[in-house]
Amino acid sequence: MTFQQHASLKPFNTFGIPATADRLGRFSNVDELRGLLASPEVKGAPLLILGGGSNILFTQDFHGTVLLNEIPGMVVVRENEDHVWVRAGAGVTWHSFVLHCVANGWGGVENLSMIPGKVGAAPMQNIGAYGVEIKDTFDTLEALRIADGEVISFDKEACAFGYRESFFKRAGKERYVILNVTFRLSKRPVLNTSYGNIQQELERMGIAQPTLRDVSDAVIAIRRSKLPDPAVIGNAGSFFKNPVVPQEVADRIKAEHPDTVSYPAGPGLAKLAAGWLIERAGLKGYSLGTHGVHDRQALVLVNRGGANGHEVYALSEHVLRTVKEKFGVELEREVNIL
């Protein structure tokens, strides 16, 4: 097992932050992973498992070992008349998994097209978009417990999925390496086109009877129109979560700003659109030269080139403070800060 010493992490985070890791290794199966974890330089030192690096902000160099997960493979493990169970290696690119499902006519993940990153990170924050979350098709996952190298199976309940939440972001944080995820997909897909402007986009495309592919294409087109491409402008998608607040807080804001964007979020609760709050706090397009708030989606912080992680973090503090002052609402970061 060899490590690259003092390795640049810039190619491995979509913010394009120029941090370094003391050691960088790669694994493409569980035996390689166990071998790396057993090496003397890894034991006792900080450890970070990295997928596509699309939900992470390095605010400093990482003084420990970074392991890049490259476990491949997609296989049908079971099927019946209605469903197919597909297991994907944690190192498979999420979008290629989605395209594989779409090409085979398996429904359930098409609305999650073009989310960056790898399959292994998808359960971490229960990735979601356009009215769908992975918990809707999730069946099980296998993860290696770092403390003793045991492989443990987790069902949906054990994963404790919530909005951008899971067991692996809370009690299980930094204790497991996700190895593979099994999804239950539908052979008789019911398309979900009601969210956002998917229906509008399909109409614009001249499609009346959409297929899985059409929905995937519509989602891709909408995402391209709003979200910056990390290959061009460094970013990690939504930097903050949409805050869930007591209904009376949403009502108070609505009384002052009738165009407030909010959604029902369970009894007595409302989810506010953080992008709207940030825009109305006057920060959409806010620029500090090298970095700033995206001008088409205020929920996205961007590195236009040359910013370090500390500067982007300081900007996130400014956004938090400004929104709190203007609306009395506390935003929570979605991106993992290191």
Q: Is 153 a catalytic residue?
A: no
Q: Contact between 234 and ligand FAD (CB under 6 A)?
A: no
Q: Between 79 and 139, name the residue whose CB sits nearer to ligand FAD.
A: 139
Residue 78's binding partner among ligand FAD, ligand EPU, none (Cβ under 5 to 8 angstroms by kind) is none
d(Cα 167, Cα 162) in Å, to the nearest integer?
9
d(Cα 230, Cα 242) in Å, to the nearest integer?
21
Please enumerate in sequence order all residues whose Cβ is within 8 A of that of 218, keeping only pairs 6 or more positions apart, or say none.
193, 198, 201, 202, 205, 207, 210
Q: How far is the CB of 334 from ligand FAD (least distance, A)?
A: 7
Structure tokens at 231: 């290959």
Distances (CA, A) of 167 to 143, 182, 183, 261: 12, 17, 18, 29
DSSP, collapsed to helix, strand or coil, labels residue 111 as helix
Chosen residue from 89, 107, 108, 117 binding ligand FAD by CB under 6 A = 117
Q: Is 238 a catalytic residue?
A: yes
Q: How far is the CB of 263 from ligand FAD (least distance, A)?
A: 16
Q: Contact between 36 and ligand FAD (CB under 6 A)?
A: no
Binding mask 171-200 for ligand FAD (x = CB under 6 A): -----xxx----------------------
Say which of 113, 216, 238, 316 is annotated catalytic: 238
String of b and e for 182-215 (b: at least 16 CB within 10 Å)? Answer: bbbbbeebebbbeebebeebbeeeebeebebebb
Binding site for ligand EPU (CB under 6 A): 129-130, 196, 226, 237-238, 241-242, 261, 273, 275-276, 279, 284, 297-299, 334
What DSSP string runs through 124-171? TTT-EETTEEGGGTEEEEEEEETTT--EEEEEHHHHT-BTTB-GGGTT
Q: How far is the CB of 295 from ligand EPU (least distance, A)?
A: 9
Q: Contact between 129 and ligand FAD (CB under 6 A)?
A: yes
Q: Contact between 89 and ligand FAD (CB under 6 A)?
A: no
Task: Give which of 311, 82, 125, 111 is closest to 214, Cα–Cα.
Answer: 111
Q: How far is the CB of 248 from ligand FAD (least distance, A)?
A: 28
Structure tokens at 183: 């999804």
Q: What's the per-residue H, E or C state across 306-319? A: CCCHHHHHHHHHHH
Chosen residue from 16, 25, 108, 237 binding ligand FAD by CB under 6 A = 237
Residue 273's binding partner among ligand FAD, ligand EPU, none (Cβ under 5 to 8 angstroms by kind) is ligand EPU
Say which of 23, 26, 87, 164 is annotated catalytic: 164
Helices and strands: H and E segment counts in the chain: 8, 19
Q: How far is the CB of 216 from ligand EPU (least distance, A)?
A: 14
Asked if residue 193 lies in contact with residue 215, where contact means CB atoms within 8 angstroms, the answer is yes
Q: Contact between 53 and ligand FAD (CB under 6 A)?
A: yes
Q: Is 248 a catalytic residue?
A: no
What residues act catalytically? 164, 238, 334
Q: Report the interface residues with ligand FAD, using CB under 6 A.
A: 14, 48-56, 69, 90, 115-118, 120-122, 124-125, 127-129, 176-178, 227, 230, 235-237, 336
